Amino acid sequence: MGIGELTNFQTLTNFVVSQDNGRKIREMENLSNLKGGLVISELQNVVKAQDAWVAGLCYKSNLRDLALEWSYNFAGEEIHKDILDSLQPPKMLERLTIECYGGETFPNWFGDPSFGKLSILDLYYCPNCTLLPAVGRLTSLKSLSIRRMSKVKKVGANIFGKDLSINAFPSLERLRFQDMPEWEEWDPCEVDENVRSFQHLHELIISNCPKLLGSLPNRLPSLKKLKINLCQQLRSLPSCLPSLERLVIQECEKLVVSLSSLPKLSDLEINGCQEVSSTSCANSGSFIERVSLSDISKFTSPMEGMMLGLIKAERAEDGKEEHMQLGIPCHIEHLSIHCCERLERLAESLHSYRSLTVLGIEGCPRLISISNGNLPPNVRRLTIKECENLQYLLDGVNNNINSTPLSRALGD
């Protein structure tokens, strides 16, 4: 008895399409009671689009999670679109994954608003695709992941859909672009003030897109987490992110980061960028709890004070040292100082930061000493690496480390 004769079959986690006399995709025709999740793999073994149509995926109304997978070493890319077109899923589908698809474009059913339950879409390794599908009209889409699309050069109107007068991505909360080596431009199509896209986006991740120049969408009122790494040509961030709480930047050496429009930022991590700036101490993070800064070419006032305020000035003018130290938010809990070649001593005013519990110092070759008088009173963990000229640790006012909250951390 073949699998196609099991007409009451309800659960089939992985249907592997075989060559020659093996399992054919048309055997799924009578499996109308399938429900839950289904993976159809080795789709390169489908040689006729008609066979895929006979499988009748669109009639299997109880399927909720569907993955369509080709092999990495596929051939015959010219029929991939016809096959995917014939594998149109049921309208009640909630999650769809496409992997190793070899077509240049996606079929018309992709992004059709009639898929009113589709909430998660993952497109992975579509190496011949030059245009992203128009998925902006999927009203329930909450998570969109686009990875390893090596021929896509522009993200623009094509992803929003033909009608730019509607609010695209009305429910989208998480968006990821990853490993897109030729992507150069993101056109957010922000031409109509009355049209709002990405209004509920909470998390945006852009990773390893080395040619991306910009511009990123400016209207992201709900964005809470922004992570960008390995985007070496990117020069600027969205101009207004009123809800952003966490910002992570890694190895974006031409990027200029302005903190002036981030009033709710609480977690800041920057490792490698051109410039960090802020026009106001008040806007540079009164809610900030964790900061990690390293390999930054330039700070502008008062961000310069955030870093220079950590340096013990030998002959500072009256009030100058105090002014420089105002850049450090008073509620900060975690502070990492990396690759600060000018850092020689920690300022005594750092002792007043009672919320600071974790302090890390790394790659500061001029740092000579750290005294109890400099350390905040509630620091529980102190990590020091690659500070080769450090001669005195916890010297000064009180040299009895057992009397400090640091004793347990130093004993590790």
The radius of gyration of the chain's CA atoms, rounded to the nearest angstrom, is 27
Question: What pLDDT sits at residue 406?
Answer: 46
Whether 325 and 301 have beta carbons less than 8 Å apart is answered as no
Phi, psi of 227 (to 5 degrees): -130, 125
For residues 230 and 181, what is the distance between their CA atoms, to the nearest angstrom? 10
Question: What pLDDT sits at residue 8?
Answer: 56
Residues of the chain with pLDDT under 70: 1-10, 21-22, 74-77, 162-165, 190-195, 278-287, 299-331, 342, 395-412
Sequence-separated (6 or more) residues with CB below 8 Å from residue 235: 213, 214, 254, 255, 256, 274
For residues 47 and 211, what is the distance between their CA atoms, to the nearest angstrom? 37
Of the CA atoms within 13 Å of residue 154, those in its CB half-sphere come to 7
Question: What pLDDT sits at residue 25?
Answer: 92
pLDDT, tens only, 278-296: 655 444 445 677 777 777 7
Kindly indicate whether the domain formed by 245-412 is annotated with CATH number 3.90.1570.
no
Residues forming a β-bridge with 257: 276
pLDDT, tens only, 145-195: 999 999 999 998 888 876 655 788 999 999 999 999 999 999 877 655 655
Beta carbons within 10 angstroms of residue 65's beta carbon: 15
Give the total residue count for the chain.
412
Hey, where are the domains in the chain?
Answer: 245-412
Q: β-strands 143-147, 120-124: how paired?
A: parallel
